[in-house]
Amino acid sequence: MDNSKIRVLVVDDSFFMRKIISEIISAEPDLEVIDKAKDGREALEKILTLKPDVVTMDVNIPGLDGIEVLKEVMLKQPTRVIMLSAYTQPGASATIKALELGAVDFIAKPSGEVSLDLHKLKNEIISKVRLASRIELNKFLFTFKRPPLVEERVEKEPVLIKKIVVIGASTGGPKAILGIMQNIPRDIPAVFLIVQHMPEGFTFSFAERISWQSGIKAKEAEDQDIILAGKAFVAPAGYHLVLEKQNNKYIIKLNQDALVNFVRPSIDVTLNSAADLFGKDVIAVILSGMGRDGLEGARKIKEKGGLVIVQDEATSVIWGMPKAVCEAGLADRVLPVFKIPEIIIEEVKKEAR
């Protein structure tokens, strides 16, 4: 066994899927499949015994399912786990839950549980395994101080929007966003626009998860949605999210214009749109992720007098997007992720007085 290689355990109940994933990984000179597992109990035993560098694990496996295995692993022996999930509603919901529990990333199977065309994702599998192997696990295992239980919502008159908070993230973002939103009070006079780089079929479940876990009512954004204080709108995968003013109301418009920074939705697109309409009343929050998406949007927010907050290196899983903003001298605040909600609340309260 070559100790210089990245050691990978492959977990899937399908013989075919175990075979093709293993072949993709083993073909790379720096990667090595050390073993395979066909169900949850076997996976848990082999993870604890073999101590792989990275585990690829199907969400839907017999015995203990992928979520239960992940819970046990993170409790007993934290390990870098990449989930594989079908594009189904149950699969997407379980995947978002897995990211919240500590899975470092996920790969969406292109055509169901047994994807005969998985070879199309060869480059994604290889790059995500390599990236996962370099991630410091303590950055995934941070915990937010959970807020006290809140009373049931009592509908009141609509609150005037004081701030637009645009949160942008990529790899490592879902867990950070969930933690931030859990600590935002539901009566805050601000609206949240969330741009998380994520494949199609998963942003709906991500928005649902935010609603379930926080006091803020969140939804996957739809064309013509009216933005309201105390609400969060998640940009749907495959669509840029921009704002327009119509009949004295601010509405969401979705489009499939060209990719920006190789992605759609792009954080830059949403930030630029928000800056044009709300100027100094925009708070940009740039979280963990690769690349430079959010940099030019942050520049425009600064030009308009808004506030730019970035996640610090110590708590970022991938300090790429935040680093780009910092190096350009555009960050007003560089904060550990668990401090970000407090600053958002403070800034909104300043304007609300």
Q: Please say if 268 is a catalytic residue.
A: no
Q: Based on the number of CB atoms within 10 Å of its own CB, is 148 exposed (0-12), middle (13-18) or buried (19 or more)?
A: exposed
From 13, 58, 281, 293, active-site residue: 293
Are the beta carbons of 199 and 99 closer than 8 angstroms?
A: no
What amino acid is encoded at 170 in this protein?
A: S
From 58, 85, 197, 288, active-site residue: 197
* Rounded Cα gap, residues 128 and 318, in angstroms: 12
CB atoms within 10 A of CB 294: 34
Q: How many C-alpha atoms does 148 have within 13 Å on its Cβ side? A: 2
Are the beta carbons of 13 and 62 closer than 8 angstroms?
A: yes
With tokens 């605040």, the residue in question is 333
From 170, 266, 273, 288, active-site residue: 170
Strands 80-85, 105-108: pairing is parallel
Q: Which H or E element spans position 182?
A: helix 173-182
Of 105, 180, 94, nearest to 140 by C-alpha is: 105
Question: Cα–chain-centroid distance for residue 68?
Answer: 21
Distances (CA, A) of 243 to 120, 249, 300: 35, 10, 15
Q: Please say if 293 is a catalytic residue.
A: yes
DSSP strands (E only) in the chain: 6-11, 31-37, 54-58, 80-85, 105-108, 163-169, 190-196, 217-220, 231-234, 240-246, 249-255, 282-286, 307-311, 333-335
Task: Give backbone dihedrals phi and psi of 108, rounded to 5 degrees, phi first.
Answer: -90, 120
* Rounded Cα gap, residues 170 and 197, in angstroms: 5
Q: Please say if 205 is a catalytic residue.
A: no
* Residue positions annotated with a catalytic role: 170, 197, 293
